[in-house]
Homo-oligomer: A and B are copies of this chain.
């Protein structure tokens, strides 16, 4: 093995996620693969001939986004991943032996690198696919008996989000200004969001697309999914509450959405497939899928207040709780003929689990401000209902089974104060 990977690393040889990076020696963003604490520079490997035989990947590895590669077939994605795996594990690999002769260095330290958005995101959609989350929100605002809307169990509810404001992990997020109602029944006032929140989500990135008017059959859906990232769908609850009837969330969401930089492929996640929760009523035929389509991915949200040096855990959840699968979301999205393009982002919606310590937002954890949440293990006096300025939120996620670990790295963002002028 070329790289020594610690056993608790998210980026084992079983993972090999793709991302776009630059480093102090070469500031051109290019395709890399995370391995342990390192990044394998695919630009270098392409120039050394590792991807000969794989169409135009040698050229595309040079580019500053994954879109072209995403548009390949799943067979081609696999070929590239297989070449990389062999390069890393075969100590007598011809390309490996040739690199020093050409003065090439294939590895870059992650700590010396800057990560960029993995692709240009043409369209971004967010679903609402966790029954626990939808039930919590519904219970808060409509009472326990009407928690789930009549449509919720028949289709994956979703909405179009803002693609331009999707940013990569470590980008600061400015608290939005906006209209919110301070006292029920009174006119709205303009000012900084007072109910700033995170949402623990994952998201798929579309691989090859479909044409306008065509649809993706559920049995083929995985062929259209390039991979998965963590996503924090930052939410301004007070702005959202005032604006969202009847056309849905708008300014309450479009000031920023953070994704993790490393795209973990479905192939890497395959060992962690599990059944999704029982769906009752049985969905309509186009959404029916007898294969395993849930993923056992442990998810953690932690917070670092301005006054603290360390993170405190806010929530532990798991993607396996999600009611509607990724395949069902993608299939439903295209059933009316909506066209997908490589790099489109499709979020799951907040992934809450069944117990209060697994809820995926401050809205749920604090039950819309009724409970104060401790945000600092070392200082039980430091609590809040929503996020303060300079709070940093970190999402992390990993799978583990039979000694194999595949993780997502971190998805981090810090809240900056609103620009009041």
* A interface residue numbers (CB < 8 A to B): 122-123, 128, 149, 151, 154-155, 157-165, 167, 174, 176-179, 187-190, 193, 212-215, 236, 239, 242-251, 254-256, 281, 284-286, 332-333, 335-341, 344, 416, 419
Contact = CB atoms under 8 A, between A and B. Distances in A.
B158 A247 contact: yes
Contacts of A337: 165, 174, 176-177, 255-256, 419
Given A122-B163, A123-B162, A335 B128 contact: no
13 contacts: A151-B245, A157-B247, A163-B163, A164-B338, A164-B340, A165-B339, A174-B213, A177-B336, A213-B416, A213-B419, A248-B248, A255-B336, A255-B338
B335 A285 contact: no
A248 B159 contact: yes
Contacts of A167: 212
Contacts of A249: 247-248
A244 B157 CA distance: 8
A336 B178 contact: yes
Given A157-B243, A245-B151, A254 B336 contact: yes
Nearest to A153: B187
A250 B158 contact: yes
Contact of A161 (B149, B158, B160, B339): B160
A179 B212 contact: no
How many copies of the shown chain assemble into the complex? Answer: 2
A340 to B, nearest CB: 7
A200 to B, nearest CB: 18
A241 to B, nearest CB: 10
B154 A187 contact: yes
Contacts of A149: 245-246
A378 B343 CA distance: 50
A335 B177 contact: yes
Nearest to A141: B246
Nearest to A245: B149
Contacts of A336: 176-178, 193, 236, 239, 251, 254-255
Contacts of A250: 157-160
A258 to B, nearest CB: 12
A349 to B, nearest CB: 9
A179 B162 contact: no
Nearest to A171: B212
B247 A164 contact: no
A247 B248 contact: yes
A416 B212 CA distance: 13
Given A247-B249, A286-B190, A336-B236, A179 B164 contact: no
Contact of A123 (B164, B174, B419): B164
A57 B256 CA distance: 32
A164 B239 contact: no
Contacts of A247: 128, 157-159, 244, 248-249
A143 to B, nearest CB: 15
Nearest to A254: B338
A341 B121 CA distance: 13
Nearest to A176: B336
- Most B C-beta atoms less than 10 A away, residue of A157, A160, A189: A160
B243 A246 contact: no
Contacts of A286: 190
A284 to B, nearest CB: 5
A67 to B, nearest CB: 13
A160 B254 contact: yes
A378 to B, nearest CB: 32
